[in-house]
Amino acid sequence: MIDTTDTPSTRPYLIRALYEWCTDNGFTPYLAVAVDESVRVPREYVKDGQIVLNLGLEATSALQLGNDFIEFKARFGGTAREIVVPVHRVSAIYARENGQGMAFPLSAPQPSKAVAPVTKNLTSVPVDADTDAAERQSPPTQLSSVESGQRSDKTGQKPNPPRTPTPGARPALTRVK
pLDDT at 38 over 60: yes
pTM attached to this predicted model: 0.61
pLDDT at position 165 is 52
* CATH number for the domain formed by residue range(s) 11-110+121-136: 2.30.30.220
Assign 3-state DSSP to the chain and report helix, strand, coil percentages, each to 5.
Answer: 15, 25, 60
CB 31 within 8 Å of CB 70: yes
pLDDT above 70 covers a percentage of the chain that reads: 57
pLDDT at position 116 is 46
CB 90 within 8 Å of CB 72: no
94 strand-pairing partners = 30, 101
pLDDT band at 169 (very low <50, low <70, confident <90, very high): low
pLDDT at position 81 is 94
pLDDT band at 106 (very low <50, low <70, confident <90, very high): confident
pLDDT at 101 over 50: yes
Tens-place pLDDT, residues 3-29: 556 778 899 999 999 999 999 999 999
